[in-house]
Amino acid sequence: MTAEDSAVSLADRWSAVMMNTYGTPRPALVRGEGSTVWDESGRAYTDFTGGIAVNTLGHAHPAVVEAVTAQVSRLGHVSNLFVSEPAVALAERLSALFGRPGRVFFANSGTEAVEAAFKIARRTGRTHMVAAEQGFHGRTMGALALTGQAAKRDAFLPLPGEVTHVPFGDVEALRGAVTEDTAAVVLEPVQGEAGVVPAPQGYLRAAREITHATGTLLVLDEVQTGIGRTGHWFAHQSVPGLAPDVVTLAKGLGGGLPIGATLAFGKAADLLGPGDHGSTFGGNPVACAAGLAVLETVEAENLLPQVVLKGAELRRGIEELRHPLVREVRGAGLLLGVGLAEPVAARVQRAAQDAGFLVTATGTSTVRLAPALTVMEEEIAALVKELPGILGA
């Protein structure tokens, strides 16, 4: 870096060379530890964004650092032309967490995991798909076709596939849309990008019954809700006995490293054959080593029940403020949406940042909280204590 570069902020340098897909950058972060991050000026923030529900164990967790360092020192990348032990071990571990035999395809992101699910559905020989309005499944063209948000889709029409969008949570609308020509129904257990909207009670079970009746695959997008985020390994496990055909994962699986996974069960597990799909970086040994470290640490530190308790504490603390700007708190575990009575989410995000907390405005009237599963009780208490001033600002 030149002397001239050092006099210019990282945000200015970003704006000069990056495509303008993210608008004006937020603070330039240079270091993190646990749930604390520091910007280039040295100011500290408590991170309640979690890298958009990615940093399962927070920043620089020793288990992830050790696993990644050891793996990259031993074997960094081999491509899908060769077998590596971390990928096999991670696939075995994920299958065990589902409690039933399945097959795994590794990719690098959530949208890639959904693309693999899209192709699995196409290999049924059917072309029609059903997804939910306001759902979000990714930015690549197939995943975008499933995404039920016009603002993200319309500029890229026509999109691939024959996709029908139905109101989320409306069982009869879903029943009316799914036929024996429908390849797959694709749903999120909690619609994260729509404002943290959980599926109504009984909806996912009804979706399973409808898809069974028509021979349709049930695909659950757990990119944001998986890996303990809601207090279960996977959010759909809150519905006893629910058995989707395909589940997509990413975000929290790598604890900060890019990885995606598509798991398929039963007949769906055998629909993709040699040459049907691939990924040069998918199953990268370093990313898979990180994934194994995340799963092992969540289990060893007994984090799942802690997520339930901390999430309840955070929800209760916000609700008990009885602030007039807070209409409701939605979600499960440590994936919560603070529904606002006015469309001022972006202003709340800025005020929180000014107060030393990083949160995410999701739409105009929801603030999303998705801290690390290791967030401390005192960090939760600090946010709740400062929230009236943040909302008042």
| Residue 70 within any structural domain of the chain | no
What does the pLDDT look like over 54-98, one tens digit per residue? 999 999 999 999 999 999 999 999 999 999 999 999 999 999 999
**What does the pLDDT read at residue 393?**
87
| Residue 65 within any structural domain of the chain | no
**What does the pLDDT read at residue 265?**
98
Q: What is the mean pLDDT of the chain?
A: 96
What does the pLDDT look like over 327-382, one tens digit per residue? 999 999 999 999 999 999 999 999 999 999 999 999 999 999 999 999 999 999 99
What does the pLDDT look like over 274-302, one tens digit per residue? 999 999 999 999 999 999 999 999 999 99
What does the pLDDT look like over 12-54, one tens digit per residue? 888 889 899 888 777 899 999 999 999 999 999 999 999 999 9
- Contact (Cβ atoms closer than 8 angstroms) between residue 87 and residue 283: yes
276 is catalytic: no
> pTM for the full model?
0.95
Coil/strand/helix, residue 258: coil
**What does the pLDDT read at residue 9?**
84
Tell whether omega for the bond before 167 is within 30 degrees of 0, i.e. cis: no
Considering the domain architecture, whether residues 145 and 36 belong to the same structural domain is answered as no
Give residue 7's pLDDT band: very low, low, confident or very high (50, 70, 90): low
Total domain count, the chain? 2
Domain boundary among 270, 300, 330: 300
Question: Starting from the edge strand earliest in sequence, which strands make up the sheet with 326-332, in order?
Answer: 326-332, 335-340, 366-369, 360-361
310 is catalytic: no
CATH number for the domain harbouring residue 18? 3.90.1150.10
Q: Which of 39, 48, 251, 265 is catalytic?
A: 251
Burial label, 4 (beta-carbon count in 10 A; 0-12, 13-18, 19+): exposed
221 is catalytic: yes
Coil/strand/helix, residue 96: helix
Coil/strand/helix, residue 29: strand
Host domain of residue 339: 3-60+302-392
Reference 334, options 262, 229, 264, 256; nearest CA is 229
Residue found under tokens 């998986």? 226
Q: How far apart are CA 153 and CA 253, in angstroms?
A: 27
Q: Which of 221, 234, 265, 357 is catalytic?
A: 221
Considering the domain architecture, whether residues 210 and 103 belong to the same structural domain is answered as yes
Considering the domain architecture, whether residues 270 and 315 belong to the same structural domain is answered as no
Write out the two tokens for 86: 């971390």
Q: How large is the average pLDDT for residues 249-270?
A: 98
Position 42, amino acid: G
Q: Which of 48, 136, 168, 265 is catalytic?
A: 136
- Contact (Cβ atoms closer than 8 angstroms) between residue 183 and residue 128: yes
Count of CB atoms situated within 10 Å of the CB of 275:
6
Domain boundary among 300, 325, 354: 300
